[in-house]
């Protein structure tokens, strides 16, 4: 355990060069997979991009997917895109959250690369100056909920899908930055109640506590409402908007900028612990049983 900080650093330095970490670590230089896991469609009239997660069956967040997502955000920023709508190509799943296979029986160095990629991609989405909306057209557990929470506005298709940070049910702990995102949406009381029990909320329950902002009955409506939200900013000077967003989100940004390596070390220690591994094993078995 004592060596994890050094060994993680060693692995990252080997993989990405020897400049100081984490600031110098960049993960977007890898060529994307030839078959994209994320489709981007920019509306030529409004300049708003619909970013569709398309990694069947359930859009799990693994290293290639997160790298591609990071690259997409960077590209949209470069092109001064007017808005980003995050949605899924699946009819029933927005994102199933982190890919458990990146953590289950994975070597520590693989876990370290995975987590650092997640941290970087999350920060890009959370702090981007582009107005962001999640059009949640399916279940959004754990990391899927985090993706939605990182956007500025959430429109959810109801009533049958669920959303929440369910980590405790798996015997793992949602890290502080997940918690900060939840608290920003629903406040401290609901956050504690939700996270200690790992509650998954129905769309209606999520609306009632402010976890989502609007309910709609299908994906088309979700996209239309997302476009309306972004249109609100047409006359707002972009720099004033961007800085205001950064000030509002400074707790999460500061946490990640200052605690990135501590957070990584804790993640690898916790995720590789026998109890977390056992929890994941049982959870994977339950998922397999359910799908057969």
Ligand X SMILES: CCCCCCCC/C=C\CC(=O)SCCNC(=O)CCNC(=O)[C@H](O)C(C)(C)COP(=O)(O)OP(=O)(O)OC[C@H]1O[C@@H](n2cnc3c(N)ncnc32)[C@H](O)[C@@H]1OP(=O)(O)O
Q: Minimum distance from CB of 180 to ligand X (Å)?
A: 13
158 is catalytic: no
| Residue 205 binding ligand X, by CB under 6 A | no
Stretch that binds ligand X, among 64-72, 128-136, 239-247, 264-272 (CB under 6 A): 264-272
Answer yes or no whether residue 57 interacts with ligand X by CB under 6 A.
yes
The rounded Cα 290 to chain-centroid distance in angstroms is: 25
Asked if residue 223 binds ligand X (CB under 6 A), the reply is no
- Residue 241: CB minimum distance to ligand X, A: 30
Q: 67 catalytic, yes or no?
A: no
Which string of b and e fits 266-289 if b means at least 16 CB within 10 Å?
Answer: bbbeebbeeebbebbeebeeeeee
Q: What does the alpha-carbon distance between residue 177 and residue 26 come to, in Å, rounded to a whole number?
A: 20
205 is catalytic: no
- From 105-113, 168-176, 204-212, 249-257, give the range in contact with ligand X by CB under 6 A: 168-176
CA distance 142 to 146: 6
CB of 171 to ligand X, least distance (A): 10
- DSSP-assigned beta bridge partners for residue 141: 164
Which residue lies nearer to ligand X by CB, 101 or 224? 101
Q: Is 167 a catalytic residue?
A: yes
Q: Taking contact as CB under 6 A, which single stretch among the options 34-42, 164-172, 223-231, 254-262 is the one that binds ligand X?
A: 164-172
User: Considering the complex, what minimum distance in angstroms separates the CB of residue 94 from ligand X?
Assistant: 9
Contacting residue, 68, 99, 205, 265, with ligand X by CB under 6 A: 99
Q: Which of 122, 89, 94, 86 lies closest to 230, judged by CA? A: 86
261 binds ligand X (CB under 6 A): no
Residue 55 vs residues 154, 198, 290: alpha-carbon distances, Å: 21, 25, 20
**Which distant-in-sequence residues (6+ apart) come within 8 Å of 155 by Cβ?**
133, 134, 135, 136, 212, 213, 214, 215, 216, 221, 222, 225, 226, 229
Q: How many CB atoms lie within 10 A of CB 111?
A: 22
Catalytic residue IDs: 98, 143, 166-167
Binding site for ligand X (CB under 6 A): 57-58, 60, 92-93, 96-101, 139, 141-143, 166-167, 172-175, 266-267, 270-271, 287-288, 290-291
């Amino acid at each position: 355990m004592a060596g994890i900080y050094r060994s993680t650093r060693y692995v990252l330095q080997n993989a990405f060069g020897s400049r100081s970490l984490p600031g110098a670590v960049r993960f977007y230089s890898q060529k994307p997979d030839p078959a994209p896991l994320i489709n981007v469609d920019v509306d030529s009239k409004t300049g708003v991009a619909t970013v569709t997660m398309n990694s069947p069956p359930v859009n799990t967040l693994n290293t290639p997917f997160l790298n591609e997502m990071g690259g997409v955000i960077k590209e949209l920023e470069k092109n001064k895109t007017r808005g980003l709508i995050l949605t899924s190509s699946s009819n029933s799943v927005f994102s199933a959250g982190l890919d458990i296979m990146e953590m289950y029986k994975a070597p520590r160095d693989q876990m370290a690369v995975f987590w650092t990629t997640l941290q970087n991609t999350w920060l890009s989405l959370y702090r981007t100056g582009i107005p962001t909306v999640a059009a949640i057209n399916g279940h959004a557990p754990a990391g899927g909920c985090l993706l939605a929470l990182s956007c500025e506005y959430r429109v959810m298709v109801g009533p049958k899908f669920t959303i929440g940070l369910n980590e405790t049910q798996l015997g793992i702990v949602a890290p502080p930055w997940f918690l900060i995102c939840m608290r920003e949406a629903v406040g401290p009381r609901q956050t504690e109640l939700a996270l200690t029990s790992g509650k998954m909320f129905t769309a209606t329950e999520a609306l009632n506590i402010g976890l989502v902002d609007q309910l709609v009955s299908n994906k088309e409506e979700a996209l239309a409402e997302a476009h309306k939200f972004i249109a609100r900013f047409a006359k707002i000077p972009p720099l004033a908007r961007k800085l205001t967003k950064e000030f509002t989100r400074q707790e999460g940004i500061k946490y990640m900028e200052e605690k990135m390596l501590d957070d990584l070390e804790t993640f690898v220690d916790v995720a590789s612990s026998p109890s977390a591994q056992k929890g994941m094993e049982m959870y994977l078995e339950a998922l397999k049983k359910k799908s057969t």
